[in-house]
Amino acid sequence: MHPVVATVLLVFSCAVLALDNGLMRTPPMGWLAWERFRCNIDCDNDPKNCISQDLFRDMADRLVEDGWRELGYVYVNIDDCWSSMQRDAQGRLQPDPKRFPGGIAKLAQYVHDRGLKLGIYGDLGTHTCGGYPGTTLDKIETDARTFAEWGVDMLKLDGCYSNATTQELGYPLMSKALNATGRMIGYSCSWPAYQGGLPPTVNYSQLGEICNLWRNYGDIQDSWTSVLRIVDWFSDNQDILQPAAGPGRWNDPDMLIIGDYGLSMDQSQSQMALWAIMAAPLFMSNDLRTLSSSARFILQNKVAIAINQDPLGVQGRRLLKEKSGVEVFWRPLSEGASALVFFSRRTDMPFRYQTSLRKLNYTAGTYKPYDVFMEKPLGLLKDSTDFVVSINPSGVVMWFVPPAAQWQKQAERGRMFYSRSDQGNTRVLL
């Protein structure tokens, strides 16, 4: 199938109702505490790394001062273990008074003053996964109002200590309750992850009507094995998952762990490239205060981000799974462009992979690829011309591929290939 035809079909397949809050028309971007800091509440002995208002203020400062905000990383998201073990006298959730002495509203104001947004965590059950008070069905409206009064901009609603019946009732009720507050609050549902991620137990049409994004699969861990497991599950089930995604409603393969301990630089590039191809939310979970320059280079790559944030909003897919251990992923983009990722699962040595755009079902014509991580244009390339890419073990080669005529047309007009207003103001001219 030619990419142009495939794009039309994919866009048509995505034309279902989405949550009517106008948010997250491109995948949300920001920072999230969980994978890197977990449930560390020992502020007496580890004050720099415990779940506290100071940690989130530090990360907000880094997002602003180190150039993340301008690239679209605007959410500062609290995860589990932020609350007190008891609700207050009015039955409302309350933050731990020692670790959040200023309260969540004051933290939200701190974040907003820096042009950022604050996300918070809840759980549709008797307790959160960490054992803190959950949001039972009778507390949904109370908690939605509380989050709105605090100035929260996003809610991740987990599903520990609940059951299928509670989830079937509760996730839609929370969507309705959030909208009823009058505050624009993005809604991340963990519902499908607790129901196996696939039909018939998961109804993706319904999810698109009540949630902005949803966790389909288990938590990511700080390891290459975990990344591969997630990529495999999403690729193996792409025919089901891909049509569910689109502007305002995204599949969420979980956090970016680039800059932590488990990935090499090649593996970090692979995660960034594959998450961009999958139109995945980009929530870093790392320590921005100590992040290496090489990790920052990957996470701040403007073209990779622009591909992820493409306004067409079509999730990419795996095209080929070669016996050589190479896999090819493709995503249609705006302005007739596309993105390609050549991914090596090999562990021995760099592999020279030969193909052509015609073999990858591109329409006949001339293109002008750009190597995303090498940051250089590659010259004109006809669809019929064979080319070779050298891919490092567990690494990627990522291309942005516009038609040459469209490239020239845009360049003559002095226009940018991408522009975003949802998350930031990044513009990229190649």
Mean local confidence (pLDDT), 339-361: 98
What span, in angstroms and rounded, lies between the C-alpha atoms of 307 and 293? 22
Domain ranges of the chain: 3-308, 317-428
Q: Are 346 and 353 in contact (CB under 8 A)?
A: no
Chain Cα centroid distance, residue 199? 22
Confidence of residue 407 (pLDDT cuts 50, 70, 90): confident
Residue-wise pLDDT tens digits, 254-293: 999 999 999 999 999 999 999 999 999 999 999 999 999 9
Q: Any idea which residue has 């992820």 for tokens?
A: 308
Active site residues: 158, 219
* Three-state secondary-structure class, residue 199: coil
Mean local confidence (pLDDT), 74-83: 98
CATH level 3 topology of 3-308: TIM Barrel (3.20.20)
Domain 3-308 and domain 317-428, same fold? Reply is no
**Which tokens hold the place of 162?**
């609940």
- E strand segments, 107-163: 117-123, 154-158
- The H-assigned helical ranges of 278-403 are 293-299, 302-308
What span, in angstroms and rounded, lies between the C-alpha atoms of 101 and 10? 49
**Which tokens hold the place of 98?**
């020692």
Does the pLDDT at position 15 exceed 70?
no
Strand partners of residue 330:
317, 340
Residues 372, 374, 380, 381, CA torsion sign: negative
Q: What is the dihedral of CA 155, 160, 164, 167, to 10 degrees?
A: -20
Confidence of residue 20 (pLDDT cuts 50, 70, 90): confident
Residue-wise pLDDT tens digits, 199-230: 999 999 999 999 999 999 999 999 999 999 99
What span, in angstroms and rounded, lies between the C-alpha atoms of 185 and 403? 38
- The H-assigned helical ranges of 288-350 are 293-299, 302-308
The highest-level CATH class for domain 317-428 is mainly beta
Predicted local confidence at residue 7, as pLDDT: 42
Distances in whole angstroms, Cα of residue 128 to Cα of each of 80, 85, 131? 7, 10, 5
What span, in angstroms and rounded, lies between the C-alpha atoms of 390 and 410? 30
Confidence of residue 356 (pLDDT cuts 50, 70, 90): very high
